[in-house]
Amino acid sequence: MLKITQTTDGWMWVATATGLFRFDGMRFERVDSVYGERLDSSNVIGLVADPREGVWVGYRLGGVTLLRPGSSRKFGEAEGLPVGGVIHIEAVADGSVWVGTRDGVAWLAPGANRFKVLGNEVGLPEKFVYQILIAKDGTQWIGSLQGLFFRKPGQQRFTQAWPRVQLLAIVEAPDGTIWARDSKYRYFKVQTTAPAGGRILAPDFPGMGMRFGTDGTMWVLHPDGVERRFGSAGIGYPHQRLTQAAGMSGPQAQSFFEDREGDIWIGTATGIDRLRRNRLTPVVFDKPLEEPGIALGPRGSVLIGDRANGAIYRQTDRQRDRIRAEGSITASYRAPDDTAFFGTDHGIYELGRDGRLSVTPAPEETRGFYPQAMIRDGNGILWVSYSSGPLYRLAGAPWTRADEVANHARALTLAIASDNKGALWFAHPNNAVTITDSRGRPMRRLDTAAGLDLGPVLQIVPDQDVMWLSGERGVMLHREGRIVALRGRGKESFRGVSGLVRTPEGDLWMHGADGVFHIVAAELTEWLRRPDYLPSFERFDAQDGLVGHAMQMRPIPSLVRADDGTLWFITSSAAFTLDPGNIPRNRIAPPVLIRSVSSAGSKVPVNAGVARLQEGATDLHIEFTALSLKMPERTRFRYRLTGVDPDWQEPNERREAFYTNVKPGTYRFEVGAANEDNVWHPDLAAVEIRLPPTFVQTVWFKLLLATFAVLLLYGGHVPRLRVVTQQIQGRLAERSRIARSLHDTLLQSVQGLILAFGSHYHTMPREAAGRERLQNALKLAEQLLVEGRNEIMDLRVPATSSTLFDVLSEFGHTLTAMGSHTFKPRLTGTPRPLKAGIYEDIYAIGREALFNAARYAEADLITLQVDYTRQEFHLTVRDNGRGFSRNRTADDREEGHWGIQGILERAKLIGADLHVTSETDRGTTISLRINKVLAYETRATVRQGRHEHA
């Protein structure tokens, strides 16, 4: 790994012996072109990001290229650059560029198009310039085989610095000191004036390379690894060296780079290593910790001890002191009076505010076993449970067993706490909690029946008037007699929590089997208000420096909060601290971009933000990434394909999206990203996806197909329509023939009989026997005649409404046989088709009006008038008979027909205006009018009706 740099867009670039690579935090990708511009050679040795935009690339065989999105500039011998291979490039913030080559140094002024070679005329050697440094004070430093040269602002010539040996690598310390390395891998503090007395400057320490981090830390590269030194003098410590044996990727640490998020990148002969500051700070002892235990001590101190170191220490913010206690802390309790109690396998210790330490031997039968949990109740009694099972009380001396709790629980006690009323809570491994009164007498039990679902209960933490319970299966809250399970976003269960702290600010911290969890106060408040709410949280794990997992049995708790607010965590092999108010946060939002668009396994070129797929494509594969280097594993994405995704999609770790069965159309794919601290970049990456249809998917093809189907149906329908029409006309002709035959024979005969018997009836004396029976028989005969005539007329109802006038005229002429009146029909206007339902009702009204006039009016003349006008349809039936009074309409139904009232009702139903006028001995007129919109068929409905009829 020869050179490492990062461009302003977030890409990290690495020059290697086999080519140029770019890195997004997750994947290295070898490139032959940058920003669409092809490299002149893959043999790259000079590499630096331009302060404005793009990257400068120098080739081993000579030449430099500035590569930027959408443009590039090449510099060679024609542009004033020396012919030899490029060794180093220095791009300065003012826009100038310095290039060190095999054949000297060249300078490109801001905005210039040609380089200027600087050589002997300004006091510089003309061969093998290895490094160029522009110091903070503006001094220009040139490292070469002939030595180190400098030129201060305003000077014309360069001067050689001391020591006057080959100085090839240069770096400036935060205090302005210039360090340089000679060819024997030794570092010197450089001087701009000759040493006093002509003494020879001695090297300070060995090293292949040196860099300073933004925090001022000195990093020294060595053949076997990297070393961290401190202070302006570069003081080193044995444990501040990282080698291949300790996890480095390889030997020969030869390149160093600090990215904009603060990570350190070191290139070796076989790989690249990233060093980043952990959020959790390890607690370091002479020996690695083994099952450490922690406890809150008096006066803001923390007690810590473990098996490997064999001692217990009291840690304050200033120092760490060893106290005269032995063993490993496995249980502890700090009383309200600041007295600290803690237990080891050597006994129960009491540490007072004054620093006095006393020890009480453990009960005889527990010797060899560890204390599991302890508390001092409101009566001053100390309760201690042991891993062997028994629970003891200590009030002065001696120890007494608290078998009432053990018998009630029938299990070991893992944790003990006291609520705000003084009641004691005992946690057990059988998914149970025993609650006693203030004197320790069991009063209540929480278990599965009460809603408890934790498995072994590891911790009980009072929080004002509620109690937090945690165990193997998660975390629950006991509030107002109810138990509620806490679940986080993504249905996180927070399993194996053996340490829990609620801070004064309202935040909740938990240490469990899957790391350290943090829920901010606002999210926790919302969950307390709505228990079905899934609060968001952050997790701290190995990525943050956590080694191991929370203890699941002993020692617990695995998390305590010191009086200064610092959180202390213990695992099976380490201890850590974290200041919640000063957690290192990454404020740099990751730029997001779309890497590729593919369909059917082939990549689709993206031009000007548009990707055009092949016709007939149905699948879509989109790769995207975010340029976040610090914790790329925790980068969050959200994407959507408009027209397909109803809402944002959030993949887990995937940096790609798949779609199948995509229909032709134009879509827009958008993706956004956030870093590990949930800082979202304000801009989305987007690409327009155009999926053209095949010919069979186009609208034109569908219209053509529909037209063909209509023609096909029409082609088969016309002959069928003709056949059906002929059949219907034949049936109608036959019905008319039958009706005429019945009318001319049967009905005429019945009418003759009625008239004959009627004449006989009128000649019979009123008192003659049988006259009344003859009258009844005549009524029945007349009723039979009416029903028969109605049935015959129904047989002759035409199929089309345009013949209404003809049908009613024929019916009127038929009725003349019932009396001696004259019938005159009259038609005005051009007959037009009536709507089917309207026609039937108008026909019935007209027929009833004609029948009533012929049968009951005793008229000499009956007229029928049908008018087809543009605005309305008009039908009138008029006679000059005897007329009638209004009170007769109610009795019309008794006359064998449905009468005037029925006519009025039928007209009202179809929206027609019907007027009936009648005067005694002057006749009756029935007039019907209906608007054209209601009466007449339109052309469209006529065609539709014909198709339906067919």
Q: 808-836, pLDDT tens digit by residue?
A: 998 888 788 667 889 999 999 989 888 87
Residues 598 and 708 in one domain: no
Helices 748-763 and 771-795: crossing angle in degrees, nearest 10, is 160
User: What's residue 748's pLDDT?
Assistant: 58
- Asked whether residue 147 is assigned to any structural domain, the reply reads no
Q: Could you tell me the maximum CA-CA distance found in the chain, to the nearest angstrom? A: 177
Spatial distance between the Cα atoms of 720 and 676, rounded to a whole number of angstroms: 75
Distances from the Cα of 25 to the Cαs of 29, 47, 539, in angstroms? Answer: 11, 19, 20
Question: Does residue 416 contact residue 426 with C-beta atoms inside 8 Å?
Answer: yes
Spatial distance between the Cα atoms of 582 and 277, rounded to a whole number of angstroms: 13
Residues 341 and 445 in one domain: yes
Question: Does residue 149 contact residue 142 with C-beta atoms inside 8 Å?
Answer: yes
- Cα 945 to chain centroid distance, Å, stands at 54
Q: Name the token pair of 158.
A: 């360069």
User: What's residue 434's pLDDT?
Assistant: 94
Kindly give the pairing relationship between strand 610-612 and strand 685-691: parallel
Q: Once rounded to an integer, what is the mean pLDDT over residues 87-92?
A: 96
CATH number at residue 855: 3.30.565.10
Spatial distance between the Cα atoms of 363 and 343, rounded to a whole number of angstroms: 12
- Asked whether residue 239 is assigned to any structural domain, the reply reads no
Name every residue whose Cβ is closer than 8 Å to that of residue 191 and which is 6 or more positions away in sequence: 161, 162, 163, 201
Output DSSP code: residue 662. P
Residues 791 and 890 in one domain: no
Last residue of a domain, one of 692, 727, 757: 692
Residues 526 and 564 in one domain: yes
User: What's residue 741's pLDDT?
Assistant: 61
Domain residue limits at 824: 801-950
Question: Does residue 440 contact residue 404 with C-beta atoms inside 8 Å?
Answer: yes
Residues, the chain: 950
- Asked whether residue 683 is assigned to any structural domain, the reply reads yes
Other C-beta atoms lying within 10 Å of the C-beta of residue 592? 27
- Asked whether residue 424 is assigned to any structural domain, the reply reads yes
Spatial distance between the Cα atoms of 313 and 323, rounded to a whole number of angstroms: 6
For 765-790, letters b (16+ CB in 10 Å) and e give: eeeeeeeeeeeeebeebbeebbeebe
- Asked whether residue 687 is assigned to any structural domain, the reply reads yes
Question: Does residue 41 contact residue 61 with C-beta atoms inside 8 Å?
Answer: yes
- Asked whether residue 612 is assigned to any structural domain, the reply reads yes
Question: What's the CA angle centered on 395, arms 389 and 396, to 5 degrees?
Answer: 120
- Asked whether residue 895 is assigned to any structural domain, the reply reads yes
Q: Once rounded to an integer, what is the mean pLDDT over residues 582-598?
A: 94
Three-state secondary-structure class, residue 791: helix
pLDDT band at 271 (very low <50, low <70, confident <90, very high): very high
Q: Answer whether residue 949 shows pLDDT above 50.
A: no
Three-state secondary-structure class, residue 225: strand
Output DSSP code: residue 587. -
* Amino acid, res. 37: E
Q: Answer whether residue 946 shows pLDDT above 60.
A: no
pLDDT tens readout for residues 181-192: 999 999 999 999
Q: Answer whether residue 731 shows pLDDT above 80.
A: no
Of residues 595, 614, 617, 615, the one with CA closest to residue 606: 595
Spatial distance between the Cα atoms of 151 and 835, rounded to a whole number of angstroms: 106
pLDDT tens readout for residues 450-506: 999 999 999 999 999 999 999 999 999 999 989 999 999 989 999 999 999 999 999
Spatial distance between the Cα atoms of 912 and 904, rounded to a whole number of angstroms: 9
Q: Name the token pair of 49.
A: 């990001």
Cis peptide before 798 (omega within 30 of 0): no
Of residues 247, 280, 278, the one with CA closest to residue 262: 278
Spatial distance between the Cα atoms of 855 and 816, rounded to a whole number of angstroms: 10
Spatial distance between the Cα atoms of 884 and 930, rounded to a whole number of angstroms: 25
Phi–psi pair at 434, nearest 5 degrees:
-100, 130
Residues 355 and 443 in one domain: yes
Q: Name the token pair of 126.
A: 């003309």
Spatial distance between the Cα atoms of 386 and 367, rounded to a whole number of angstroms: 10
Q: Once rounded to an integer, what is the mean pLDDT over residues 633-655?
A: 93
Question: Does residue 459 contact residue 497 with C-beta atoms inside 8 Å?
Answer: yes
Domain count, the chain: 4
DSSP assignment of 246-315 equals GT-S-S---EEEE-TTS-EEEE-SS-EEEE---SSEE---SS--SS-EEEE-STT-EEEE-TTT--EEEE
Spatial distance between the Cα atoms of 253 and 244, rounded to a whole number of angstroms: 10
Considering the chain, what is the average pLDDT of its residues?
88
Strands (E) across 395-492 are located at: 399-401, 415-418, 424-428, 432-436, 442-446, 457-463, 466-471, 474-479, 482-486
Last residue of a domain, one of 796, 831, 852: 796
Question: Does residue 713 contact residue 705 with C-beta atoms inside 8 Å?
Answer: no
Q: Phi-psi bin for 74: left (phi > 0), alpha (psi -120 to 50), beta?
A: beta
Residues 334 and 445 in one domain: yes
Of residues 137, 140, 135, the one with CA closest to residue 118: 140
Residues 661 and 614 in one domain: yes
Q: Name the token pair of 824.
A: 């005159």
* Amino acid, res. 181: R
Q: Answer whether residue 710 shows pLDDT above 80.
A: yes
User: What's residue 891's pLDDT?
Assistant: 45
- Asked whether residue 875 is assigned to any structural domain, the reply reads yes
Output DSSP code: residue 803. G
Spatial distance between the Cα atoms of 638 and 680, rounded to a whole number of angstroms: 10
CATH number at residue 681: 2.60.40.10
Alpha helices in 447-530 (DSSP H): 521-529
Residues 469 and 602 in one domain: no
Q: Once rounded to an integer, what is the mean pLDDT over residues 95-102?
A: 96
Spatial distance between the Cα atoms of 497 and 551, rounded to a whole number of angstroms: 9
Other C-beta atoms lying within 10 Å of the C-beta of residue 518? 18
Q: Once rounded to an integer, what is the mean pLDDT over residues 714-736?
A: 71
Please classify residue 446 by burial: count the beta carbons closer than 10 Å to its beta carbon, then call 0-12 exposed, 13-18 middle and 19+ buried. buried
Spatial distance between the Cα atoms of 845 and 661, rounded to a whole number of angstroms: 62
Of residues 914, 912, 905, the one with CA closest to residue 935: 912
3-state secondary structure 920-938: CCCEEEEEEEEEHHHHECC
Of residues 338, 290, 334, 339, the one with CA closest to residue 311: 290
Residues 501 and 370 in one domain: yes
- Cα 303 to chain centroid distance, Å, stands at 45
Phi–psi pair at 647, nearest 5 degrees:
-150, 175
CA dihedral 62, 68, 69, 74 (to 10 degrees): -40
Other C-beta atoms lying within 10 Å of the C-beta of residue 645? 15
Last residue of a domain, one of 692, 714, 730: 692
Q: Name the token pair of 224.
A: 């076997």
Residues 716 and 854 in one domain: no
Three-state secondary-structure class, residue 881: coil
pLDDT tens readout for residues 921-941: 889 999 999 999 999 887 654
Q: Name the token pair of 190.
A: 């450089």
Output DSSP code: residue 325. -
Q: Name the token pair of 730.
A: 């034949």
Spatial distance between the Cα atoms of 137 and 154, rounded to a whole number of angstroms: 12
Residues 470 and 610 in one domain: no
CATH number at residue 514: 2.130.10.10
Q: Once rounded to an integer, what is the mean pLDDT over residues 11-17?
A: 94
Q: Name the token pair of 245.
A: 């044996």
* 875-878 LR contacts (CB < 8 Å, sep 24+): 875/842, 875/845, 875/846, 875/927, 875/928, 876/925, 876/926, 876/927, 876/928, 877/846, 877/849, 877/850, 877/853, 877/925, 877/926, 878/923, 878/924, 878/925, 878/926
Q: Regarding predicted confidence, which is higher, 378 or 116?
A: 116
Residues 498 and 525 in one domain: yes
Question: Does residue 274 contact residue 256 with C-beta atoms inside 8 Å?
Answer: no
pLDDT tens readout for residues 591-608: 999 999 999 889 998 988
Q: Answer whether residue 219 shows pLDDT above 70.
A: yes
User: What's residue 743's pLDDT?
Assistant: 54
Q: Once rounded to an integer, what is the mean pLDDT over residues 338-362?
A: 92
User: What's residue 554's pLDDT?
Assistant: 84
pLDDT tens readout for residues 514-552: 999 999 999 999 999 999 999 999 999 999 999 999 998
Please classify residue 227 by burial: count the beta carbons closer than 10 Å to its beta carbon, then call 0-12 exposed, 13-18 middle and 19+ buried. buried
- What is the pTM (predicted TM-score) of this model? 0.71
User: What's residue 941's pLDDT?
Assistant: 46
